[in-house]
Amino acid sequence: MTTESERPRAGAVRATGRQVRPATEGWSQKKDAEGRPLLQFASPKRGKPPVHLADLTPEARAARIVELGMPAFRAKQLEKHYFTHYTTDPAHMTDLPASTRDEVVHGMLPPLLTLVRKLETDRGDTIKFLWKLHDGALVESVLMRYTGRITLCVSSQAGCGMNCPFCATGQAGLTRNMSAAEIVDQVVRANRLIAEGGLGDPRRVGHEGERVTNIVFMGMGEPLANYARVMQAVRVMTDKKHGMGMSARGITVSTVGLVPAITKLAAEDIPVTFALSLHAPDDELRDELIPVNSRWKVDEALDAARGYFERTGRRVSIEYALIKDMNDHGWRADLLGDKLNARGRGWVHVNPIPLNPTPGSIWTASDPEVQDEFVRRLEAKGVPTTLRDTRGKEIDGACGQLVATEEDEAVAAATPAEV
């Protein structure tokens, strides 16, 4: 149990145990004119990527096909080639008229992602992709095979504007929002690699029809800061008639706590899994760890998360990166459990995550016994809790590690764009 002597008063460090404050090392956190951590909600102005089939509604696709000189029903054929066969190669689309095939395919399925490099770990079960976008911006996605499922961690922005000091992506700032099609194309390209045996021979490890089964919006970017494009991508992923036909329950959309957008997401009537990246149950620490907490406090974020459950019936995930001597104290586990239980039972699940250290970071993961005690205290409060398995640390492919390095930028500069 948490005692009064364990829990610090506001502005005080608790007498027992070490309290490390968030700080940066090896880089400078961007600040606004008042000296507060800079938050970038609006995407910087850059040239837009070409309009792609996945950016459009089914009706708009049909209209666009007609503009290109073909009957509207050809849009359905293009959808099947792209979403089911994972191809953008006109040579594979022999059901389209040869005379106008190239023009229509390039007009509807322009190249969006150029593969710069591909790194593997976990005996080939984890693959990190570095992609170059049309304007040279770099993003990453991570493909992971687990027993019974294949998960892809996708990026929704190039960089991130939320400026969380323990996240490598946040250190880079926001380059721009990604288009819906750029988000979807990460999935299509991953499915193409799986179909070609790039995640292990499908005849040996699965079956011929293997594909990505789960999507997590936990790559580069704050998904809810790119709301419209992320939701268009989700609609395409879940559309059984005109899209990829994935289960919405297999798609996880995460946020650091953009409360108005959480409420908006709850009203979408698409039952995706919602994850709140909390990382601290007290405003004093979370203000420093998660700068957006200066806008919407812990209780506001938790109220919005509870509202998501009430609207959708979908249990909410609370993500909590355990950082040694910073947010892993027993009293914080107790406080988190109390705050969640104050909003009811059965609506939430907590995923403590051992911190993935990033270059230049002074922090590291909690000691195993501290992690176990944190989990034990939450479970003692009756809160379902699972210590998250981390993948891809050896290739900087784990949560919070996705960032384009100087070496990546050099390799990307020498990589010609795909056509």
Task: Read off the DSSP letter of residue 198.
Answer: B
Grade residue 209 by pLDDT with cuts at 50, 70 and 90.
Answer: confident
- CB burial string 90-118: b at 16+ within 10 A, e below: beebeebeeeebeebbebbbbebbbebee
- CB burial string 316-328: b at 16+ within 10 A, e below: bbbbbbbbbbbbb
Grade residue 208 by pLDDT with cuts at 50, 70 and 90.
Answer: low
| Average predicted confidence (pLDDT) for the chain | 89
Residue 400 has pLDDT above 90, yes or no: no
Closest of 215, 109, 113 to residue 158, by C-alpha: 113
Choice between 155 and 16, residue whose per-residue pLDDT is larger: 155
The CA-based dihedral angle spanning residues 363, 367, 370, 374, taken in that order and rounded to the nearest 10 degrees: 60
Catalytic one among 79, 140, 182, 222? 140
Q: What percent of the chain has a predicted confidence (pLDDT) above 90?
A: 73
- Read off the pLDDT of each residue in 84-111 and give the average, rounded to a whole number: 95
pLDDT at 11: 41
Predicted confidence (pLDDT) per residue in 46-74, tens digit: 889 999 999 999 999 999 999 999 999 99
Grade residue 9 by pLDDT with cuts at 50, 70 and 90.
Answer: very low
Question: Is 140 among the residues known to form the active site?
Answer: yes
Taking a C-beta distance cutoff of 8 angstroms, is the pair 153, 221 a contact?
A: no
Q: Tally the residues of the chain.
A: 419
Q: Count other C-beta atoms under 10 Å from residue 157's C-beta.
A: 28
Q: What percent of the chain has a predicted confidence (pLDDT) above 70?
A: 87
| Contacts of residue 136, Cβ cutoff 8 Å, sequence gap at least 6 | 412, 413
Question: Is 399 among the residues known to form the active site?
Answer: yes
Residue 80 has pLDDT above 90, yes or no: yes
Residue 265 has pLDDT above 60, yes or no: yes
Task: Read off the DSSP letter of residue 242.
Answer: T
Grade residue 10 by pLDDT with cuts at 50, 70 and 90.
Answer: very low
Paired strand residues for 252: 216, 273
Taking a C-beta distance cutoff of 8 angstroms, is the pair 246, 238 a contact?
A: yes
Say what angle helices 180-195 and 227-238 make with each other, to 10 degrees: 40
| Whole-number Cα distances in Å, 414 to 31, 129, 136, 186, 408 | 33, 16, 11, 21, 10
Q: What is the DSSP string of 131-187?
A: EE-TTS-EEEEEEEEETTEEEEE--SEEE-SS--TT-HHHHH-EEEEPPHHHHHHHH
Place of tokens 């499915």: 191
| Whole-number Cα distances in Å, 368 to 317, 363, 390 | 22, 15, 14
Maximal CA-CA distance, the chain: 79
Place of tokens 């079960």: 125
Taking a C-beta distance cutoff of 8 angstroms, is the pair 51, 108 a contact?
A: no
Neighbour order of strands in the sheet with 149-153: 114-121, 126-132, 138-146, 149-153, 214-217, 251-255, 273-277, 316-322, 348-354
- Read off the pLDDT of each residue in 112-123 and give the average, rounded to a whole number: 92
Is residue 294 packed enough to be buried (19+ CB in 10 Å), middle (13-18) or exposed (0-12)?
A: middle
Instruction: Kindly report the backbone phi and psi dihedral angles of residue 401, in degrees, each rounded to the nearest multiple of 5, phi listed first.
Output: -100, -5
Task: Read off the DSSP letter of residue 385.
Answer: B
pTM (two decimals) = 0.91
Catalytic one among 153, 160, 167, 399? 399
Predicted confidence (pLDDT) per residue in 164-195, tens digit: 988 878 777 999 999 999 999 999 999 999 99
Tokens in use for 22? Answer: 């968030």
The dihedral sign for the CA sequence 154, 349, 333, 12: positive
Residue 407 has pLDDT above 80, yes or no: no
- Read off the pLDDT of each residue in 235-263 and give the average, rounded to a whole number: 98
pLDDT at 419: 61
